[in-house]
Structure 1
Amino acid sequence: MGRESDFLRGSLHRRSFLKASAAGAAAFAASGMGFGRALAEEGWTLALSARSLSNPYHATFAKGGEDFAKSAGLPFEVLITEGNSEKGIADIRALLARTGGKLVLNVDPNDSPDARVIVEDCQKAGAYVVTQWNKPDDLHPWDHDPNYVAHMSFDGVPNGKAMGEALIASMGGSGGIVALGGILSNVPAVERKLGLDQAVAAHPGVELLDFQAADWNETKAFEIMQAWLTRFGDKIKGVWAANDGMGIGALEALRQEGLAGSVKVTGIDGIDSAIDAVRNGEFAGTVALPHRSLKSRGAGLP
């Protein structure tokens, strides 16, 4: 079976997908109420493991999980990795021990190799796990049935390309751009960068001045952008970021130099601050995914 078989991947028109997601979330919530009560009586716990709640993207995921847990009458816990794979795995192991394996876990692994360890630990404990975004290509739910329920992700190439095209259009079709990537081994980081590369290749007048990984981190993106402004100066006509958080970090550096709006930024996630930046003419675009309903669906899958 191919890699696509592992994924719930998005290629629908956004409006259609949002409608489908809302319906799916409602169905999970409705069906989960009676089943959830039975699980609650048996002492099961729902949990989310993610990088940081300071990122509005992950905060929205947590809210979706909380909403589903409340509808199902189950306790809900949030584990924060702080970008540290060892901490993420250790916290999950501790929760598995504390719950005696009666755990339904939705996890966004900090790095792709982490997923294998987490899945194997959950299977040994008798817990159920859904992974999101990151996993090795040879790790499949059917090899760990029934404990590894699903892997959820989206093809990042179209979004990366679309934001590259939007940025290039805002520059008039030519000029130098700089690009901020996520953790280099993360699947969405790889796919979104591939999309950017396709957009740049289609426009001979555009030069990618530099690409650096800011690891999905706003502060790191701010610091990289400051260094780029010193290094490249007015050669920079646009900034592409693999997520909105890094885009906002770059925008803050541009604001300090009085360049916000004249040097456009793009991101991915559709967080409120990025949407505001689009309205203010500082961002050339962002892409929104239905994170809250995805988390609710992920929590309900087992």
Structure 2
Amino acid sequence: MKKLAAATISVAAAAVLGLTGCSTAGTSQVSGSGNVKIIALLPQGYDQPYGSVYVDTMKATAEEMGVTLELTNAKYDASRQSSDCNVAVAKKPDGIILWPADAGSVRPCLLKAQAANIPVNSTNSDVTEADKSLVKSYSGPSNDQVGRLDADLLNTALQGKGSIVIIQGQPGNSTATDREAGFRKQLEEKYPGIEIIGAQPANWDKAQAITATSELITRLGSRINGIYAQDDTMAAGAIEALQNRGIDPATVPVVGCGNTELGQANVLSGKQFGTLFQSPVWDGKTAIEQMVKVIKGEQVEKNLFMPMPLVTKDNASQYPPEW
């Protein structure tokens, strides 16, 4: 497993290094966009650390490529995003980039765009499998793979055996659902010695993660050998809950996702066993590039997945946090 993880890191790191600059070869291949107008329907923006970097990168990439970009922020309200979509379709842009607030609720939006002959790409969180034919391309993390990689990390920490709990994201959110599905499948297929004995949502929030973890500790006590938190923010909450109970987090390995400033600090201190490097720079940049390619009639990959290197204390210095 360690050899596999090292290979994953090496390949993904090379991919990230090739994509982080704003004037890479990838940009020049799709430049000269002319008077292209794109509307991005997003569920977050400057109200979230990830969204702040993502949006700034989108804007910079659009400006560099001569694209007129309009952004919305539904704040994870599916009905609000539906309204944003109606307005966007009426404006007849050359393309729509959609980061679903709720993947189960975006089909009407996709059908309206299709009827208006406006191409749509999904970004960061994909649409459901039933709606894949209604989008030209997806770019972003494979959240199924995120769950699988976190299972790999936790297996390494536990050396193949133990009982663990999951601190979940927002119920019904496709990112949370897909990460948990991938995590559970990886344990079932590769690590049968690790058992999930509890799970509780914390809605991507540190304070709620403290409460959720504390309640799981109260209920399950010393049976908990490890914790899978679906992002670094909730991982930080899980760590704090352990410390509040007088438990050394190094003795109950916690894994997360994001390689945020907070998450990497916890990894370097030994409080968090590991995380995954998720780049809002790659995410925002690639979303614009893919949409421009679609508008220009160029061939694009149906699924362009973000590299997600595994980050532990041993290699964290190679992956400076982006958010």
Quickly name the TM-score band, shorter chain normalised. 0.7 to 0.9
Q: Which of 222, 225, 244 in structure 1 is aligned with 2:213?
A: 225
Q: Which of 47, 52, 56 in structure 1 is aligned with 2:40?
A: 47
Residue number in structure 1 paired with 2:303: none
The separation in 2 between residues aligned to 1:187 and 1:244, in whole angstroms, is: 18
Alignment check: 8 A CA contact 1:161 1:195 kept: yes
Residue number in structure 2 paired with 1:264: 253
Alignment check: 8 A CA contact 1:79 1:92 kept: no
| One-letter amino acid of the counterpart of residue 111, structure 1 | D
Alignment of 1:52-67 (within 5 A): 53-67=46-60
Mind listing any 5+ residue stretches in structure 1 that lack a counterpart?
Answer: 1-9
Alignment of 1:189-208 (within 5 A): 189-201=176-188, 202-203=190-191, 205-208=193-196
TM-superposed CA distance for 1:65, in Å, is 0.7
Alignment check: 8 A CA contact 1:11 1:155 kept: no
Residue number in structure 1 paired with 2:33: 35
The separation in 2 between residues aligned to 1:286 and 1:81, in whole angstroms, is: 28
Residue number in structure 1 paired with 2:163: 176
Alignment check: 8 A CA contact 1:25 1:293 kept: no
Alignment check: 8 A CA contact 1:243 1:269 kept: yes
Residue number in structure 2 paired with 1:87: 80
Alignment check: 8 A CA contact 2:41 2:85 kept: no
The separation in 2 between residues aligned to 1:136 and 1:156, in whole angstroms, is: 12
Q: Deviations over 1:103-133 (max 9, x none)?
A: 5332210222233222223334454421122
Alignment check: 8 A CA contact 1:104 1:127 kept: yes
Q: Which of 121, 127, 131 in structure 2 is aligned with 1:139?
A: 131
Alignment check: 8 A CA contact 1:50 1:107 kept: no
The separation in 1 between residues aligned to 2:213 and 2:126, in whole angstroms, is: 27
Q: Which of 8, 15, 18 in structure 1 is aligned with 2:16?
A: 18
TM-superposed CA distance for 1:152, in Å, is 2.6
Alignment of 1:204-215 (within 5 A): 205-215=193-203
Q: Residues 205 and 102 (structure 1 numbering): CA distance in 2 closer, same or farther, change over 3 Å?
A: closer
SS at match of 1:176: strand
Establish whether residue 122 from structure 1 lines up as the match of residue 113 from structure 2.
Answer: yes
Q: Which of 93, 100, 104 in structure 2 is aligned with 1:109?
A: 100
Q: Which of 221, 227, 240 in structure 2 is aligned with 1:239?
A: 227
Establish whether residue 167 from structure 1 lines up as the match of residue 154 from structure 2.
Answer: yes
SS at match of 2:238: helix
Q: Deviations over 1:226-255 (max 9, x none)?
A: 211222233222210222232233233334
Residue number in structure 2 paired with 1:7: none
SS at match of 1:178: strand
Establish whether residue 249 from structure 1 lines up as the match of residue 241 from structure 2.
Answer: no
SS at match of 1:109: coil
Q: Which of 265, 274, 278 in structure 2 is aligned with 1:289?
A: 278
How many residues are matched?
281
Alignment check: 8 A CA contact 1:226 1:253 kept: yes
Alignment check: 8 A CA contact 1:238 1:265 kept: yes
Residue number in structure 1 paired with 2:311: none
The percent of aligned pairs where both chains have the same amino acid is 20
TM-superposed CA distance for 1:49, in Å, is 0.8
Q: Deviations over 1:138-171 (max 9, x none)?
A: 2234xx5xxx432234443443233223224334
Residue number in structure 2 paired with 1:149: 136
The separation in 2 between residues aligned to 1:11 and 1:254, in whole angstroms, is: 29
So what's the TM-score if we normalise by structure 1? 0.77
SS at match of 1:21: coil
Q: Residues 271 and 78 (structure 1 numbering): CA distance in 2 closer, same or farther, change over 3 Å?
A: farther
Residue number in structure 2 paired with 1:4: none
SS at match of 2:131: coil
The separation in 1 between residues aligned to 2:255 and 2:96, in whole angstroms, is: 32
The separation in 1 between residues aligned to 2:206 and 2:87, in whole angstroms, is: 29
